[in-house]
Amino acid sequence: MASDNLIDGRAIADQIHEETRRHVEALKAHGTPPGLVFVRVGEDPASRVYVGMKEKACDRLGIQSQTRILPEDTTEKDLLKLIGELNADPTLHGILVQAPLPPQINEANIFAAVSANKDVDGFHPLNVGKLLLGDPNGFVPCTPAGVHELIIRSGVHTSGAEVVILGRGNIVGKPMAAILCQKSEHANATVTLCHSRSTDIGEHCRRADILIAAMGVPEFVKANMVKPGAVVIDVGVNRIPDPEAKNGSRLVGDVDFADVQPIAGRITPNPGGVGPMTIAMLLRNTVRAAARANGLNLETPES
């Protein structure tokens, strides 16, 4: 597989981790080690894996982390009580409630209960509003923030570019559109947000200078949907059957990588593209939260 047009998410994430590590050391020198707590309800296998990966990343960077695990039948009231306790703990600067939550719990209520100052996931309504208003003092959701960093650090120009985003979810699609349409450096794009009710999605895609796929449909984007030379960012994580795989299935993105790579100008692999960036941005947000909580003005890169 040729690699000259790959956007290496792992390498860029390592750059950001090194920047974050320096800020962690500076915070510790001020007597303020950053603290991050993960809250997991139940034993969803994917959630266990994701939280475990985040815990290991915290260890590598020197961020103090802890995980609170609640039983599957936890009530929304009990979870809200725990969040209130975590909000009041001055040693914890970031709170991440791992989704999905059991059906008896309303995720929107939980995300809104996390202090906006500790909302390192960027899901609190106040932080969502700040993003839409172009206020840099909020926290941006980690995956779209990571995509933005991939674009910036790969030297991709966004000003005046046609950007097409596939998927209108609250975690990626909507915040991604809000980031790239701002009147600011590394933005100023013309953004089209496509979704399940959009007509002729292929026609929209073929117009894109930058195509971001975040719709959750395995290998949806084919070569005939991509303008030659376009930048293609694959956010999708989908499990499909594969009798030759060890567990009978494998993970693929929303882009048919083998089909699209030969005509793309730049493209993210999957895995190794967007995934590592999500954790990198989470830890960067945590360091920012710790600095703000203690009135420190560390020079942390902003997207």
Catalytic residues: 54, 98, 121
Strands, E, within the chain: which ranges? 35-41, 64-70, 94-97, 162-166, 190-194, 210-213, 231-234, 238-241, 249-252, 266-267
CA-based torsion, 89, 94, 99, 105: positive or negative: positive
Indicate the burial class of 271 (C-beta count within 10 angstroms; 0-12, 13-18, 19 or more).
middle
CB 86 within 8 A of CB 92: yes
User: Of 192, 210, 208, which Cα lies nearest the Cα of 154?
Assistant: 210
Nearest to 298 by CA among 28, 111, 97, 42: 28
Burial class (CB in 10 A: 0-12, 13-18, 19+), 78: middle
